[in-house]
Amino acid sequence: MTDKTKPILVVEELNVHYDTGKGPAKAVSDVSFSLLPGERLGLIGESGSGKTTMATALMRLTRAPGRIAGGSVKLDGRDILKMSTRELRETRLRDIALIPQGAMSSLNPVMRLEEQMIDAIVAHKPGMRRAELDARVQELLKNVGLAPEVARRYPHELSGGMKQRAAMAIATSLSPKVIVADEPTSALDVVVQRQVMQTLGRLQDGLGAAVVLIGHDMGLIAQFADTVGVMYAGKLVEIGPVRQMIESPKHPYTRLLVDSLPGIEVKRELTGIPGLPPPLVDLPPGCSFNPRCPLAFDRCVRETPLLQEVAPGQSAACHLYPEHAALPPLPPMTRAHQELRP
Amino acid sequence: MSALIEMRGVTKTYGAFTALNDVTLSLSDTSPSMTAVAGESGSGKTTLARMMLGFINPSHGQVLYQGKDVARMTGAEQRQFRREVQPVFQDPFDVFNPFYRIDHVLETPVKRYKLADSDTKARAMIEDALKRVGLRPQDTLGRFPHELSGGQRQRIMVARAVLLRPRLIIADEPVSMVDASLRATILDELKTLNRELGISIVYITHDLTTAFQICDNIMILYRGNVSEAGAVERVIGAPKHPYSQLLVSSIPLPDLSKAWGGEEIPVSEASAARPNPGCKFAPRCPHVMEMCWDNLPPKYVPDSERLATCFLYRDAPVAASDDVASVFRPPNHSITTTAP
Domain check: are A129 and A266 in the same one? Answer: no
pLDDT per position as a tens digit, B204-257:
998 899 999 999 999 999 999 999 999 999 999 999 999 999 999 988 887 777
Residue of B nearest to A157 (CA): B270
pLDDT over 70 (residue A334) = no
- Asked if residue A31 lies in contact with residue A11, where contact means CB atoms within 8 angstroms, the answer is yes
Residue A339: predicted pLDDT: 46
Question: Could you tell me if residue B272 is inside a domain?
Answer: no
CA distances from B47 to A27, A56, A145, B94, B225 (A): 40, 38, 31, 19, 12
Cβ pairs bridging A and B (under 8 Å): 164
Eight-class DSSP state of B255: -
CA B111 remoteness from chain centre: 28
Contact residues on chain B for A243, CB-CB shorter than 8 A: 256
Identity of the residue numbered A315: S
With an 8 Å Cβ cutoff, are B209 and A260 in contact?
A: no
Question: Could you tell me if residue A16 is inside a domain?
Answer: no
Domain check: are A133 and A208 in the same one? Answer: yes
- Asked if residue A121 lies in contact with residue A174, where contact means CB atoms within 8 angstroms, the answer is yes
Question: Could you tell me if residue A160 is inside a domain?
Answer: yes
Which of A246, A263, A339 lies closest to B209 in CB terms? A263
Q: CA-CA distance, A207 to B7, in Å (whole number)?
A: 52
Contact residues on chain A for B149, CB-CB shorter than 8 A: 47, 276, 340, 342
Question: Could you tell me if residue A306 is inside a domain?
Answer: yes
Contact residues on chain A for B239, CB-CB shorter than 8 A: none
Residue B200: predicted pLDDT: 96
Domain check: are A97 and A217 in the same one? Answer: yes
Higher pLDDT, B236 or A334: B236
Helix (H, G, I), strand (E, B) or coil at B138: helix
CATH of the domain at A113: 3.40.50.300
Domain check: are A116 and A203 in the same one? Answer: yes
Among A145, A130, A203, A129, smallest CA distance to A173 is for: A203
Domain check: are A97 and A134 in the same one? Answer: yes
Mean pLDDT of B124-129: 93
B45 CB-near residues (< 8 Å, 6+ apart): B37, B38, B39, B172, B204, B205, B206, B221
Percent of chain B past pLDDT 70, that is, above it, reads: 93
Which domain covers residue B28, as residue numbers? 3-261+278-327
Question: Could you tell me if residue B273 is inside a domain?
Answer: no
Tally of structural domains, chain A: 2
Residue of A nearest to B131 (CA): A339
Domain check: are A50 and A105 in the same one? Answer: yes
- Domain end position, chosen among A225, A259, A282: A225
Contact residues on chain B for A192, CB-CB shorter than 8 A: 40, 269
Question: Could you tell me if residue B106 is inside a domain?
Answer: yes
Contact residues on chain B for A223, CB-CB shorter than 8 A: 252-253, 259-260
Q: CA-CA distance, B43 to B194, in Å (whole number)?
A: 26
Domain check: are A39 and A180 in the same one? Answer: yes
- Distance from the Cα of B216 to chain A's closest Cα (Å) equals 11
Q: CA-CA distance, B148 to B132, in Å (whole number)?
A: 18
Q: For CA atoms A246, A252, A254, A256, give the dihedral sign.
A: positive
CA distances from A183 to A236, B90, B242 (A): 18, 19, 28
Which of B134, B181, B212 lies closest to A260 in CB terms? B181
Residue B185: predicted pLDDT: 79
Which of B139, B254, B262 lies closest to A218 in CB terms? B254
pLDDT per position as a tens digit, A125-163:
888 999 999 999 999 998 888 889 999 999 988 888 888
In this structure, of B107-121, B123-137, B267-281, the range with the lowest mean pLDDT score is B267-281
- Domain end position, chosen among A160, A195, A225: A225
Contact residues on chain B for A340, CB-CB shorter than 8 A: 134-136, 139, 149, 151-152, 155
- Secondary structure (DSSP) of B205-229: ES-HHHHHHH-SEEEEEETTEEEEE
pLDDT over 90 (residue B151) = no
Question: Could you tell me if residue A75 is inside a domain?
Answer: no
Chain-wide mean pLDDT for chain A?
89
Question: Could you tell me if residue B251 is inside a domain?
Answer: yes
**Position B8 confidence tier, pLDDT thresholds 50, 70, 90:** very high
pLDDT over 50 (residue A72) = yes
Contact residues on chain A for B236, CB-CB shorter than 8 A: 264
Mean pLDDT of A86-95: 92
B244 touching A (Cβ < 8 Å)? no
Residue of A nearest to B284 (CA): A191
Which of A190, A195, A247 lies closest to B251 in CB terms? A190
Residues B76-84: contacts with CB under 8 Å, at least 24 apart: B78/B54, B81/B54, B82/B54, B83/B113, B83/B164, B83/B166, B84/B164, B84/B166, B84/B167, B84/B168
Tally of structural domains, chain B: 1
pLDDT over 90 (residue B124) = yes
In this structure, of A183-197, B23-37, B187-201, B315-329, the range with the lowest mean pLDDT score is A183-197
**Position A13 confidence tier, pLDDT thresholds 50, 70, 90:** very high
- Secondary structure (DSSP) of A46-106: -TTSSHHHHHHHHTT---TTEEEEEEEEEETTEEGGG--HHHHHHHBTTTEEEE-TTGGGT
Longest dimension (CA), chain A: 68
Domain check: are A50 and A145 in the same one? Answer: yes
**Position B186 confidence tier, pLDDT thresholds 50, 70, 90:** confident
With an 8 Å Cβ cutoff, are A191 and B40 in contact?
A: yes
Which domain covers residue A276, as residue numbers? 238-338
Identify the residue among A146, A217, A270, A292 best suited for mutation to test binding to B, counting B beta carbons within 10 A and taking the highest: A270
Eight-class DSSP state of B271: S
Identify the residue among A162, A259, A340, A341 best suited for mutation to test binding to B, counting B beta carbons within 10 A and taking the highest: A340
Question: Could you tell me if residue B268 is inside a domain?
Answer: no
Question: Could you tell me if residue A13 is inside a domain?
Answer: no
Residue A216: predicted pLDDT: 86
- Distance from the Cα of B260 to chain A's closest Cα (Å) equals 7
For B143, other C-beta atoms within 10 Å of its C-beta total: 15
Question: Could you tell me if residue A131 is inside a domain?
Answer: yes
Domain check: are A264 and A213 in the same one? Answer: no
Domain check: are A132 and A247 in the same one? Answer: no
B93 touching A (Cβ < 8 Å)? no
Q: CA-CA distance, B106 to B157, in Å (whole number)?
A: 9
Identify the residue among A104, A143, A146, A223 best suited for mutation to test binding to B, counting B beta carbons within 10 A and taking the highest: A223
Question: Could you tell me if residue A307 is inside a domain?
Answer: yes
- Asked if residue A212 lies in contact with residue A179, where contact means CB atoms within 8 angstroms, the answer is yes
Interface subset of B 277-336, CB within 8 angstroms of A: none
- Domain end position, chosen among A196, A225, A254: A225
CATH of the domain at B37: 3.40.50.300
Compute and round to an integer the Cα radius of gyration of chain B.
21
Q: CA-CA distance, A328 to B183, in Å (whole number)?
A: 25
Q: At what angle do helices B150-163 and B119-132 cross, to 10 degrees?
A: 130
Domain check: are A198 and A247 in the same one? Answer: no
pLDDT per position as a tens digit, A244-303:
999 999 999 999 988 887 788 888 777 778 777 888 888 999 999 999 999 999 999 999
Interface subset of B 223-242, CB within 8 angstroms of A: 236-237
Q: Rounded to 5 degrees, what angle do the CA atoms A331, A335, A340 make? A: 105
Q: CA-CA distance, B159 to A280, in Å (whole number)?
A: 28
- Distance from the Cα of B35 to chain A's closest Cα (Å) equals 15
**Position B265 confidence tier, pLDDT thresholds 50, 70, 90:** low
Which of A190, A263, A273 lies closest to B181 in CB terms? A273
Which of A217, A246, A340 lies closest to B134 in CB terms? A340
pLDDT over 90 (residue B188) = no
**Position A101 confidence tier, pLDDT thresholds 50, 70, 90:** confident
* Order of strands across the sheet that contains B3-14: B17-28, B3-14, B60-65, B68-69
Residue B217: predicted pLDDT: 97
Q: CA-CA distance, A83 to A66, in Å (whole number)?
A: 19
Q: CA-CA distance, A18 to A68, in Å (whole number)?
A: 9
Contact residues on chain A for B253, CB-CB shorter than 8 A: 219, 222-223, 261, 263-264
Interface subset of B 12-71, CB within 8 angstroms of A: 40-41
Question: Could you tell me if residue B337 is inside a domain?
Answer: no
Which of A159, A223, A273 lies closest to B252 in CB terms? A223
Backbone φ and ψ of B218, nearest 5°: -140, 150
Question: Could you tell me if residue A250 is inside a domain?
Answer: yes
Chain-wide mean pLDDT for chain B?
88
Note whether ipTM > 0.85 here: no
Domain check: are A216 and A251 in the same one? Answer: no
- Secondary structure (DSSP) of A254-315: HHHHHHTS--SSS-------SS-PPPTTSPPSS-TTGGG-TT--HHHHHSPPPPEEEETTEE
Question: Could you tell me if residue B214 is inside a domain?
Answer: yes
With an 8 Å Cβ cutoff, are B256 and A222 in contact?
A: yes
In this structure, of A241-250, B87-96, B203-212, B314-323, the range with the lowest mean pLDDT score is B87-96
**Position B306 confidence tier, pLDDT thresholds 50, 70, 90:** very high
B157 CB-near residues (< 8 Å, 6+ apart): B88, B89, B92, B95, B105, B174
Question: Could you tell me if residue B267 is inside a domain?
Answer: no
